[in-house]
Amino acid sequence: MMTEPLFLLGKSTYALSIILDMLPVEFQRVGLISNIPDAENTSLAYPFLVPHIQVREYTEDQMTDWLSPSFIIASIGKSRRLIAEHFIKTYAIPEDRFIPLIHTSSVIANGFTAGIGLHISPLSVIAPYCTFGRFVVINRHVNVGHHTMLHDYVSVNPGVTISGICEIGERTTIGAGATIVDRIKIGRDTIIGAGSVVTKDIPDGVIAYGSPARVIRDNIL
């Protein structure tokens, strides 16, 4: 009988070590359900288990209850959206079963709202009146300025500064150490390269980098 109160969906071991280390103390055991065979998972060379949490792995067909447990997507990178969409569409998991994971060292100001599946790693600061969509990822040591909007599946890598009143479109990734100045709009399905300084709006579906950042080419999806 499955008795775990929380199930991790997917098996990106890069992210699992971070996610397991961030779990609240009440989760001393979790289930893990991968949607791809181990033979096709390139991340398995990296350890992910932590000593204080018991992890039991299941296959999808062993799962008998998709309505009662809590769920976290076990990826904070490019596979996150595919994993989330697979499990939500296949098993009709209610949205309220996806819990946020926010490290206790991060600071969330007043007026903040977010969709399901939020991930915020350690030492990040979210200023007042930010709005985040579904399954947004904020990696460690990120600063997000006031009244900024991040749409669904935006991924912000470590050390990024996003200034106030910015908007970042769906499925866009901001590379490590990038800086985005005030009142910038970045389109959907775009990649901003590591260390870039974004001083003007960036359109949908492109790769941009540099200081100041400029569009280099289309983002081939």
Given the residues 119, 146, 147, 151, the one annotated as active site: 146
User: How many Å apart are CA 133 and CA 124, to the nearest integer?
Assistant: 17
pTM value is: 0.94
Other Cβ atoms less than 10 A from the Cβ of 96: the count is 8
Kindly report, residue by residue over 37-62, the tens digit of the pLDDT.
777 777 777 888 888 899 999 999 99
User: How many Å apart are CA 52 and CA 27, to the nearest integer?
Assistant: 9
Kindly report, residue by residue over 170-188, the tens digit of the pLDDT.
999 999 999 999 999 999 9
What pLDDT was estimated at residue 57?
A: 92
Residue range 184-209: mean pLDDT, rounded: 98
Please check whether residue 92 is in contact with residue 74, taking contact to mean a CB–CB distance below 8 angstroms: no
Kindly report, residue by residue over 96-128, the tens digit of the pLDDT.
999 999 999 999 999 999 999 999 999 999 999
Q: Which residue has the tokens 């970045």?
A: 186
Q: With helix as H, strand as E and coil as C, how does 96-140 read? A: HHECCEECCCCEECCCCEECCCCEECCCCEECCCCEECCCCEECC
Helix (H) or strand (E) holding 70: strand 70-73
**More confident site: 46 or 26:** 26
For residue 1, pLDDT over 60 is answered with no
Catalytic: 146?
Answer: yes
Q: Say what percent of the chain tops pLDDT 70.
A: 99
Kindly report, residue by residue over 129-183, the tens digit of the pLDDT.
999 999 999 999 999 999 999 999 999 999 999 999 999 999 999 999 999 999 9
Q: What is the mean pLDDT of the chain?
A: 94
What pLDDT was estimated at residue 14?
A: 87
What pLDDT was estimated at residue 48?
A: 86
What pLDDT was estimated at residue 2?
A: 65
